Each structure stands twice: as C-alpha cells, then as structure tokens.
Amino acid sequence: MAPNNVGSLVTVAALATSLLLGACGDGGPQQIEFVEFGQPQDDTERTSLVAVLADPSRFNGQRIRVQGVLHIEFEANQLCLDRASVESFVPTNCLRLGLGQQLVARERELAQWNGRYATLVGTVRPTTTHDHFSGRIDDVVHLMVMTSRRRL
C-alpha cells in the first residue's frame, strides 16, 4: 500500500471511530441516581410487578419490594407497568397505592416524580369488587425514585 493511502486509511478509521463513539456514548457503565423517601427495608423480598398483577391474592398480606412507574394523585396513587398505562388509565396494568403515614405527609413532594420508575416496599392487599385496579399495595414505607441516568 502506498504511503499516501495509509495516511488516508488512518484518517478515515479515526473519523469513523470518533463518529461511533459520539453516537453510542463511551460504552462505559451508567450510574443511576435515586431519591429516597421513608425507611429502607433491605430484608424485603423483591417481587415482579407482573407476578403481582397476574395473581394479587397469591401475595395477600405479604410485604414486598416491587418496581414500576409511579403516579401520585389524590385518591388515585398507583404503580403501573409502564408510562402508557398511567397516561391512558389502564388500571389492570396498575396497583393502587396506599402510602404509609410518613409518606402521606410528603405526598405533594412525591407527586413531582410522577412518570418515573420507582421501587417501593409495601404490603399487598385485595381490592374491593368495585375497584378497577388489579390489586393494591398498602402501608408503603419506602419509596426510591429513579431521577436520572448518567454516564460514569
């Protein structure tokens, strides 16, 4: 290969690498930032929201740790599978939330995090026959909301 072509090839390779890194980020790990409310409950079993939605009676009376999209609104607090379920009000994809005393006092502050993914700890209870939600989580004592994701 001629020396002139080698220089061009190196320039093209460097430019392509630069473009790829700019489009994809640096490929490094991401740090997720959270804001916490209430008392951490590290010993609580992590449970899938899908499992609870499918059969809330199986978890009746159990304290669980579960993750979903948070929505705090007067008399309509909920944790949903996704943002679309909150926005389009699909209650079969959501659990009604009953906040514990410590968190009720901060309900207005919690509402600023609506639409964010959150992990919470609470006790599963059945809903009434007139309730549109699949189930409910009462006595929510800990809530951890994902505030942002950033590159390390």
124 vs 106: CA distance, rounded Å: 21
Is the distance from CB of 122 to CB of 84 less than 8 angstroms?
A: no
Instruction: Write the pLDDT tens digit of every residue in 93-138.
Output: 999 999 998 899 899 999 999 999 999 999 999 887 778 888 999 9
For 39, the 3-state DSSP assignment is coil
The number of beta carbons lying within 10 Å of the beta carbon of residue 65 is 17
Q: Cβ distance 88 to 137 under 8 Å?
A: no
Tens digit of each residue's pLDDT (9 = 90 or more) over 77-96: 999 999 999 999 899 999 99
pTM of the prediction? 0.74
